[in-house]
A and B are shown apart, each in its own frame.
Chain A
Amino acid sequence: MSLPIVKVSNLDKYFGRLHVLKNIDLEVSERQVVCLIGRSGSGKSTLLRCVNFLEDPSHGVIEVDGVKVEVEKKGKERRQLIHDVRLKTGMVFQEFNLFPHMTVLENVIEGPVTVKNMDRKHAIELAELNLDSVGMLFKKDEYPMRLSGGQKQRVAIARALTMEPRVMLFDEPTSALDPELIGEVLNVMKKVANEGMTMIVVTHEMGFAREVADRVIVMSDGELIEDATPEELFSKPKDPRTKALIDRYRSGEQ
């Protein structure tokens, strides 16, 4: 197995008095697709959001592609490290969070141009490439308001990819979508995975986890309770809580 590209060690997170992440250790290798599953409130989204510091962890260490952030250290150096981590990670949100005052193309080039000072022409070339690969190039001059949820999410994926991250983080990317629009987004994610992107995906889509993930990690009450290949996990779950989760999914499927 190759070296871990994401390494989370001894991570704790408190919301006020609530202990939402309890001493988490997690390593993700390059090109791996890891799905985080668990009931709502289990801490899976919080863990994902700690990786790029959208949530401030309480203590522990986060390392992404060689950039190591010791959570407790404060100051200017830390801000720079967090910035570096964010440049190495792309994030896709449940609510898409496209910028409504910009066209699709402007949304996608915003990061490269503003953050990386990329030449605008070059950024547009790159953006068009990625919009094409998510099947949204034909809407490049539209405003987000005129897109369906599935289309918005595909643009959001292109926006994240255009920053050329090493790791993609997906935070329940299909949970805000109408059922008939989920497929198009999952297909794009599958494509991204097949192109060799390292991905951490918080999801309720067990079908996707089963089909695409290399590893499925189950979270409950702020802890990782099971970490296995999808075959193992779905055929013989070890933890009763995992079993309950899978049973619930199976009964929902019928």
Chain B
Amino acid sequence: MASITNQGQAPQSQAELLYQAQLRKERSFRTHVGVSWAVLFFILIFLFSGQNIQLGSFRFETIHLDTEFILKNLTFIAKGLGQTLLISVLSILFAMTLALLAALGRLSSFPPIYAISTFYVSLIRGTPLYLQIFFFFLALPQLGVNLSGVVAGVTALGLNYGAYMSETFRAGLSSVGKGQREAAMALGMTPGQTMRRIVLPQALRFAIPPMGNDFISMTKDSALVSATGFVHELMWRAVKVGRAQFNSLEALIMAAMFYWVLTLILTYFQGKLEARLSKGDR
């Protein structure tokens, strides 16, 4: 039908028809996934809706949440969002710096530099993040070093993520082919110029999407910092009000929703960024 009503143009080619069919298939898949998400979300809400349900002789109740508590403490928990984001942003900046240095150190032909880089990565990756966070809050004061909550949290998270992200940078650096370095050398560039002008810009570009993922993970791992009790971010606030009023269920669900929505928003922007980097002027 479509080809006939097509303003008297020649009938659509076989390829065009196949392409249309494929587009329809993809569109329908996305629609179905969307609908299923909505259903799952609805089920989740239903489970926590506190309904009394009578089906013949079978009677059950879904989970009841204390709405009064939720409304009363919403702003208190929401205020932690700023701290969570602050810690995450500062930590990721610190981590990126360390990761870049560690990745460059890994390329060094000077043994001590190479050793420092691998030693750092090995030590950090060989111990739990939870332990590292406590180390900066609890172990350092014993040596007379008292860091503020945020500084200690950022140091621990930054050191930890830096070690993992150095691998991302390393992959970025090795994604730049040998030919690029040779072309720069043939032009007479020094090793420093080659790194700054040719290799790093390409390596960083390669590393941006995975760094976005790391940042998203960081917003959630920042919750671990709450365990020390000195940083009043989302998780700390949820635990505090929940325990105090025996409403941990509500409090934790609220915090979970904040984290989830935050992650969804960040993932959306991450996707945009990735799409922009993958096309265009590469």
With contacts A93-B179, A95-B179, A143-B282 taken as known, whether A100 is within 8 angstroms of B202 at the C-beta atoms is yes
A4 interface contact, C-beta 8 A:
no
Are A110 and B187 in contact (CB-based, < 8 A)? Answer: yes
A36 to B123, CA, bound (A): 53
B180 interface contact, C-beta 8 A:
yes
A18 interface contact, C-beta 8 A:
no
B265 interface contact, C-beta 8 A:
no
Contact of B185 among A54, A90, A99 (CB under 8 A): A54
B182 interface contact, C-beta 8 A:
yes
Are A114 and B179 in contact (CB-based, < 8 A)? Answer: no
Contact of A115 among B183, B193, B205, B281 (CB under 8 A): B193
**A/B interface sample: 14 pairs, CB < 8 A:** A52-B186, A83-B190, A91-B186, A97-B182, A97-B183, A100-B282, A101-B202, A101-B205, A101-B281, A111-B187, A111-B189, A114-B197, A145-B281, A163-B187
A90 to B198, CA, bound (A): 18
Return the chain A residue nearest B280 by Cβ: A143
Are A86 and B198 in contact (CB-based, < 8 A)? Answer: no
A89 to B182, CA, bound (A): 13
Q: Chain A residues with Cβ under 8 A from B189's Cβ?
A: 111, 114-115
Interface residues of B in 167-205 (CB under 8 A from A): 177, 179-180, 182-190, 193, 197-198, 201-202, 205
Are B188 and A163 in contact (CB-based, < 8 A)? Answer: yes
Are B185 and A86 in contact (CB-based, < 8 A)? Answer: yes
The chain A residues found within 8 Å of chain B, CB to CB, are: 52, 54, 83, 86-87, 89-91, 93, 95, 97-101, 110-111, 114-116, 143, 145, 159-160, 163
With contacts A110-B197, A111-B188, A115-B188 taken as known, whether A99 is within 8 angstroms of B183 at the C-beta atoms is yes
A30 to B265, CA, bound (A): 64
Return the chain B residue nearest A90 by Cβ: B186
Add 18 more A-B contacts to A86-B187, A100-B282, A163-B188 (CB < 8 A): A54-B182, A86-B186, A87-B188, A90-B186, A91-B183, A91-B186, A93-B183, A97-B180, A97-B182, A99-B184, A101-B201, A101-B202, A101-B282, A110-B187, A111-B187, A115-B188, A143-B281, A143-B282
A52 to B182, CA, bound (A): 10
The chain B residues found within 8 Å of chain A, CB to CB, are: 177, 179-180, 182-190, 193, 197-198, 201-202, 205, 281-282
Return the chain B residue nearest A94 by Cβ: B179
Task: Give, as a whole number of angstroms, the nearest-CB distance from B142 to chain A.
Answer: 49
A86 to B281, CA, bound (A): 30
A143 to B279, CA, bound (A): 12
Are B182 and A93 in contact (CB-based, < 8 A)? Answer: yes
| Leading 9 A-B pairs by shortest Cβ distance | A97-B183, A111-B187, A91-B186, A97-B179, A86-B188, A115-B188, A143-B281, A87-B188, A101-B201
Are A54 and B187 in contact (CB-based, < 8 A)? Answer: no
Q: Chain A residues with Cβ under 8 A from B202's Cβ?
A: 99-101
Task: Give, as a whole number of angstroms, the nearest-CB distance from A46 to chain B.
Answer: 13
Q: Chain A residues with Cβ under 8 A from B193's Cβ?
A: 114-115
A143 to B183, CA, bound (A): 17
A160 to B281, CA, bound (A): 23
Are B197 and A89 in contact (CB-based, < 8 A)? Answer: no
A54 to B178, CA, bound (A): 11
A100 to B205, CA, bound (A): 11
Are B179 and A89 in contact (CB-based, < 8 A)? Answer: no
Contact of B188 among A83, A95, A145, A159 (CB under 8 A): A83
Task: Give, as a whole number of angstroms, the nearest-CB distance from B183 to chain A.
Answer: 4
Return the chain A residue nearest B201 by Cβ: A101
Q: Chain B residues with Cβ under 8 A from A143's Cβ?
A: 281-282
A90 to B188, CA, bound (A): 9
Are B205 and A89 in contact (CB-based, < 8 A)? Answer: no
Task: Give, as a whole number of angstroms, the nearest-CB distance from B226 to chain A.
Answer: 41
A163 to B188, CA, bound (A): 9
Q: Chain B residues with Cβ under 8 A from A54's Cβ?
A: 182, 185-186
Are B182 and A115 in contact (CB-based, < 8 A)? Answer: no
Task: Give, as a whole number of angstroms, the nearest-CB distance from A211 to chain B.
Answer: 26
A101 to B190, CA, bound (A): 19
Q: Among A83, A86, A89, A101, which residue has the most Cβ atoms of chain B within 10 A?
A: A101
Task: Give, as a whole number of angstroms, the nearest-CB distance from B206 to chain A.
Answer: 11
A143 to B201, CA, bound (A): 15
Q: Among B179, B186, B201, B205, which residue has the most Cβ atoms of chain A within 10 A?
A: B186
